[in-house]
């Protein structure tokens, strides 16, 4: 089996019940609960109109500008899967467009994260299937391979393993390791509750801002005669 041109079955995945519990948690709160060390990068932006991307990852690795393995992933994916593809971030050729979008809808795929370009951007926006990508171009892809499916990949330093939970909103995309998801859920919910309390204090104008000056003093800031 040649390295770089092979398919694997996905071994395990995050439980559907656990997936559902992340649906109402902002990506920012999850990111903060993971020490702010995991993100797909600011260039991976949503191409759909609105809504949350959530589901277990089916991973794809391909050479830039080639979507043969993305087509195969469409046929392998189960309903509710998120197809996550690293194609090197190259924007010369589109990896995904309107015809593949229609096939994805038939397959009940939850969405896509593509480290590369899309085309038929209006159709993706209007159909509103969650799609995140690095850019848009009208130039079509090649279909020659090589590539791999269900292997660990990385997008801008964010490692994604098959079966990890993918969560996306207007702030971007985060991958939650399946083995750590329960712990991250607890921390993210605590973060969400804390921020809700802070927002209520801000609205009531009772929020404590003394931490700002305390931090400046601790870090050695010179106030030049200011209190």
Residue of 148, 141, 99 whose CA lies nearest to 116: 141
The string over 193-216, giving b where at least 16 C-beta atoms fall within 10 Å of a residue's C-beta and e elsewhere, is eeeeeeeeeeeeeeeeeeeeeeee
Backbone angles phi, psi at 31, to 5 degrees: -60, -45
Handedness of CA 36, 40, 41, 45 (dihedral sign): negative
Q: In whole angstroms, what is the distance from residue 198 CA to residue 119 CA?
A: 41
Is residue 97 marked as binding?
yes
Is 158 annotated to bind ligand? no
Has 213 been labeled as part of a binding site?
A: no
CB atoms within 10 A of CB 130: 25
Short-list 115, 116, 109, CA closest to 154 = 115
- Residue 24, annotated ligand binder? no
Does 119 appear as a known binding residue? yes
Is 98 known to sit in a ligand binding site?
yes
- Cβ neighbours for 83, distance < 8 A, ≥ 6 positions apart: 57, 58, 60, 70, 73, 74, 77, 104, 109, 111, 112, 113
Closest by CA position to 47, among listed 103, 115, 139, 118: 118
Binding site residue list: 97-100, 119-120
Binding site residue list for substrate: 97-100, 119
Binding site residue list for Mg(2+): 120
């Amino acid at each position: 089996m040649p390295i770089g041109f092979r398919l694997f079955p996905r071994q395990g995945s995050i439980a559907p019940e656990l997936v559902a519990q992340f649906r109402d948690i902002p990506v920012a709160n999850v990111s903060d609960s993971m020490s702010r060390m995991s993100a797909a990068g600011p260039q991976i932006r949503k191409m759909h109109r609105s809504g949350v991307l959530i589901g277990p990852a089916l991973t794809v690795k391909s050479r830039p500008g080639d979507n043969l393995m993305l087509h195969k992933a469409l046929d392998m994916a189960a309903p509710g899967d998120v197809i996550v593809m690293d194609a090197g971030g190259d924007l010369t050729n589109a990896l995904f467009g309107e015809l593949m979008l229609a096939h994805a809808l038939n397959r009940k795929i939850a969405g896509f994260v593509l480290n590369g370009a899309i085309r038929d951007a209006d159709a993706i926006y209007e159909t509103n299937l969650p799609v995140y990508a690095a850019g848009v171009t009208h130039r079509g892809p090649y279909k020659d391979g090589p590539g791999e499916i269900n292997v660990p990949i990385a997008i801008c330093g964010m490692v994604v393993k098959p079966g990890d939970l993918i969560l996306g909103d207007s702030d971007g995309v985060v991958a939650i390791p399946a083995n750590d998801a329960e712990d991250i859920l607890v921390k993210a919910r605590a973060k969400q509750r804390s921020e809700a309390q802070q927002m209520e204090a801000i609205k009531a104008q009772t929020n404590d801002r003394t931490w700002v000056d305390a931090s400046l003093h601790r870090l050695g800031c010179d106030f030049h005669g200011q209190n």
